[in-house]
Amino acid sequence: MKHIILLIFAAYSVVMGAQEASIKKPDYVIIANDQIITKEQLNEYAKEGYIKAINKGVSEETRNEFATKFGDKIGDRAFIITIDLFTEEEKEANQNKLKTEKKPDTTIAKDTGLILKVNDAAQDFEVKMLTGETIKLSDLKGKVVLLNFWATWCAPCLMEFYEMPGKILKPFEDKDFVFLPISRGEAETIVSKKMLQLKEKGIDFNVGLDPDKTIWNQYATKFIPKNFIIDKDGIIQYVSTGNYEGSVDTIAKEIEKLLTD
């Protein structure tokens, strides 16, 4: 459990670069026993075996209830983590259960949910952008493309967006490069609302819409964010899943390599 907690928070530094000025990345708000707690308190709960469940993200209604109670400490609902704790009796029963359970086979390879992998040709598609125009992937040959799959409810996706202006968009704005983020499985109205909110934070770029997951289903399953770097010939050269410390830096380095080849 402690390992899981570390993975949840490993990605998040405080201030990142932006198109014109610094963009402050949001902090996660952790709530347990109807109180805001620190990461250190969370780790202590994990160490002592009290954590029943970690829930990332809440409904808008629950977010507003928390905002009424805790004020401006509460931000976007995607960045709220609620913790369910065991009672003493439940904790003891769970620890006894864990002692008798068979440990999982850690030698089994994890399924990252990739349909297309490195060295595969990128599947062609047409995507409607939020601003109304349509982009066809094959029309972008001759450019390096960063194809990003995300969703408005996905906190790691949004955290990644906070880094994109300073680490991706600004450095490569005059290069043969296209950033193509595509929202997976969401209505245009929902995506539009989120992008307006992000624009207020200084995160302002166009996004594609894939409400039926037609494009997504050609590339991957399971987890987001997923990033595919496609070279000038339409071949996938790099794939990443999730957002962790240094992941956007790695993406930037891979793009730079392809642009200088």
pLDDT in tens, the chain (261 residues): 545 454 455 433 333 333 444 588 888 999 999 999 999 999 999 999 999 999 999 999 999 999 999 999 999 999 999 999 999 999 999 988 888 877 666 555 566 789 999 999 999 999 999 999 999 999 999 999 999 999 999 999 999 999 999 999 999 999 999 999 999 999 999 999 999 999 999 999 999 999 999 999 999 999 999 999 999 999 999 999 999 889 999 999 999 999 997
Question: How confident is the model at residue 5, as a pLDDT?
Answer: 52
Strands 208-210 and 29-32, bridge-based pairing: unpaired
Cα 202 to chain centroid distance, Å, stands at 18
The pTM for the full model equals 0.82
Distance (Å, rounded) from C-alpha 85 to C-alpha 105? Answer: 27
Q: Is 57 left (phi over 0), alpha (psi -120 to 50) or beta?
A: left
- Residue ranges and CATH numbers for the domains of the chain are 2-100 (no CATH), 126-260 (3.40.30.10)
Question: How confident is the model at residue 10, as a pLDDT?
Answer: 46
Which strands sit side by side in the sheet containing 226-230, from one edge to the other?
A: 134-136, 126-129, 208-210, 177-184, 144-150, 226-230, 236-241
Q: Cis peptide leading into 225, omega within 30 of 0? A: yes
Question: How confident is the model at residue 112, as a pLDDT?
Answer: 75
Residues with Cβ within 8 Å of residue 56, at least 6 apart in sequence: 8, 78, 81, 155
Strands 35-37 and 29-32, bridge-based pairing: antiparallel
φ, ψ of residue 109 in degrees (nearest 5): -65, 140
Question: How confident is the model at residue 234, as a pLDDT?
Answer: 98
Question: How confident is the model at residue 108, as a pLDDT?
Answer: 52
